[in-house]
Amino acid sequence: MSGLIMITRCLPVYLMLLWMLTNISESTLYVFTPTAITLEENSQANITITSSLPVKQSAVIEFNVTYSSKRNYSSIITLPGQVLLPADTTSVTFNVTAHDVGQVTTHLQSNNTDLDSSSIRIRFMVVHSNILSVVSQVIGWIYFLAWSVSFYPQAWENWRRKSVVGLNFDFLALNLTGFISYSVFNIGMFWIPYTKEEFLKENPNGINPVDANDVFFSLHAVLLCVIYAIQAAVYERGSQKVSWTALLLLLIGWTFALVSLFLAVAQKITWLEYLYFFSYIKLGVTLTKYVPQAFMNYRRQSTEGWSIGNVLLDFTGGVLSILQMILQSHNNDEWTLIFGDPTKFGLGLFSVVFDIIFMTQHYCLYRQPPQYEAIREQQED
């Protein structure tokens, strides 16, 4: 009975809250526009602004330019000062004209209080050639595929030989840590709304650097590294183990991540900075993970057990990744794009350098199979 009385007393409050929520949803109109528009220089395009419901009274929408890669944004693109969204309509279309290569970011503002456009922005990117943009995207998917497939030859080699002798355990441990860190960064930047909002606050004219394929690639890499680890535990491994040097590097990396977590919880750093620290861990791993494998090949004078298919695919992905950044920089007249994503650039550059070393070891230095030495020793005996 007391529960029923409490519900009866609270019912008017619940009804009032429900009415307020309903009133807000009916009175607030949301605006939808493309967030990023790419145009070829000396071209035109029609852009449509759409509201979630018809406006009750005409709304004037103004364009407030907040960023321009050149001092005078009108030299890049011609925008209307404002557009009119007539009453009882849901959309309005306006025309823009691109002139020179560059980037312009504009936020929408309206005199209609029912029209929620405060968080809407449009980034216009004028490029030299739309064809180059398409080629760049195609190259991006090719290197993404090459890097993703590059994990399988090593897994196949381990399974075929039922042995992981020749696969350096330091490389394996560092690689797993690196891709776990990279996955944390990508998931936080792509899926967590709070950190995405922090990024937009600190980079109001930027675009989130993480796409869906980045998340898939990093998670897929973690899965394959775990499979490597399972194979290392099950198959013949000889006397191989993780060195104290690698363990020390891993301890430093994870201690850095743990201390950063405490700093983020204590609000000494932002959660966005915390995510970026994971990307730096990945970059640091990339700088060091290939060294143990290259030294092991040198010490054994052999690349047996180290899949050359993995190396060739990794080399292809690294070259195409760098090529894509060069094409994007040229097409946008922004050569700083090459160094704008240090993790991606580091992945491509250092992968290519060490893949060349591995190919030199495999095809030039250590072409003689180790069995030849064993047979010769038996003959001498």
pLDDT higher for 371 or 284?
284
pLDDT score, position 287: 82
pLDDT score, position 322: 84
Nearest residue to 291 (alpha-carbon basis) of 354, 339, 241, 231 = 354
Average pLDDT over residues 183-201: 85
Q: Domain limits of the chain?
A: 29-127, 130-377
CATH assignment of 29-127?
A: 2.60.40.2030
Q: At 97, which helix (H) or strand (E)? A: strand 91-98
Q: 3-state SS of 118-185? A: CCCEEEEEEECCHHHHHHHHHHHHHHHHHHHHCCHHHHHHHHHHCECCCCCHHHHHHHHHHHHHHHHH
Residue 119 has phi, psi (to 5 degrees) of -100, 5
pLDDT score, position 169: 93
Q: 3-state SS of 45-68? A: EEEEEEECCCCCCCEEEEEEEEEE
pLDDT score, position 27: 52
Average pLDDT over residues 154-164: 92
Q: pLDDT class for 6, splitting at 50, 70, 90?
A: very low
pLDDT score, position 19: 40
pLDDT score, position 121: 82
DSSP annotation of 73 reads: G
| pTM of the entire predicted model | 0.73
Which value, in Å, is the radius of gyration of the alpha carbons in the chain? 28
User: What are the pLDDT digits (tens) for 64-121?
Assistant: 888 888 888 899 999 988 888 888 888 889 999 999 988 898 888 887 766 666 667 8
Average pLDDT over residues 191-211: 74
Average pLDDT over residues 248-275: 91
